[in-house]
Amino acid sequence: MDWLSFISKLIEDMAWPASFIAAIVFLRSPIFSILPNLKTLKVKDVELSFGEAIRSIQHDISVTTGNANWEVTSTKDLKPNMAKLAEKSPLGVVLQAWDSFESTIKVCAERHAEVNFHSVGEAIEWLESNTVIKGGYINLYYRLKALKTRFSAFENEELPNERALEYSDTALAIAREIREACNA
């Protein structure tokens, strides 16, 4: 293979990657403006579905508790300032709801077990195994935790307010149910 053939082959092999990178660089503003409305993202074998994960958890809650009234606008369990916070920091809403959710679990478990738990995972497992709460909450806890972790990877401008409010409403509703079960 001579030098001319080598350079020709190199340019041929690098044309698509270079074109793709150039398109990303030049179109990054329009691409990032589409991301807040994104519900599903699929690249090869990896697919992320943002709204479906929350709806799936909400469906499982209705099966666990018998309550099936879940809507984005149903913010009865939200703290009053969370809707306003979602406008400025959707991720802040998710993290605040998660903190309230974990605090509820830990306080409830420590009150009933009269011991300090090292992790919230241990606390919810203790609550469920000692039938303080109904079965199924451990699964919901870990699924909400995974979704919170996935949302934490986004910048505020990439996480849609609606998804943050859905997540917050769901986490706080489960926390309310756990609190009610612990007080019963």
User: Residues 80-130: pLDDT tens digits?
Assistant: 667 777 777 888 888 888 888 898 889 888 888 888 888 888 888 888 888
Indicate whether 23 and 84 sit together in one domain.
Answer: no
Distance of CA 6 to the CA centre of its chain: 49
Radius of gyration of the chain (CA): 22
Indicate whether 83 and 166 sit together in one domain.
Answer: yes
- pLDDT for the residue numbered 75: 45
Nearest-angstrom CA–CA distance, 103 and 120 = 8
Q: Is the pTM of this model over 0.95?
A: no
User: Residues 131-141: pLDDT tens digits?
Assistant: 888 878 888 88
Give the domain extent around 160. Answer: 40-183
Indicate whether 47 and 70 sit together in one domain.
Answer: yes
Indicate whether 17 and 102 sit together in one domain.
Answer: no
Nearest-angstrom CA–CA distance, 76 and 178 = 16
User: Residues 142-182: pLDDT tens digits?
Assistant: 888 888 888 887 765 577 778 888 888 888 888 888 888 88
Nearest-angstrom CA–CA distance, 88 and 163 = 14
Q: How many domains does the chain have?
A: 2
Indicate whether 49 and 115 sit together in one domain.
Answer: yes
Indicate whether 46 and 59 sit together in one domain.
Answer: yes
Indicate whether 79 and 163 sit together in one domain.
Answer: yes
Least confidently predicted of 28-32, 76-80, 140-144 = 76-80
Indicate whether 108 and 31 sit together in one domain.
Answer: no
Indicate whether 9 and 78 sit together in one domain.
Answer: no
- pLDDT for the residue numbered 64: 47
Indicate whether 69 and 139 sit together in one domain.
Answer: yes
Indicate whether 82 and 13 sit together in one domain.
Answer: no
Indicate whether 63 and 115 sit together in one domain.
Answer: yes
Collapsing DSSP to helix, strand or coil, 101 comes out as: helix
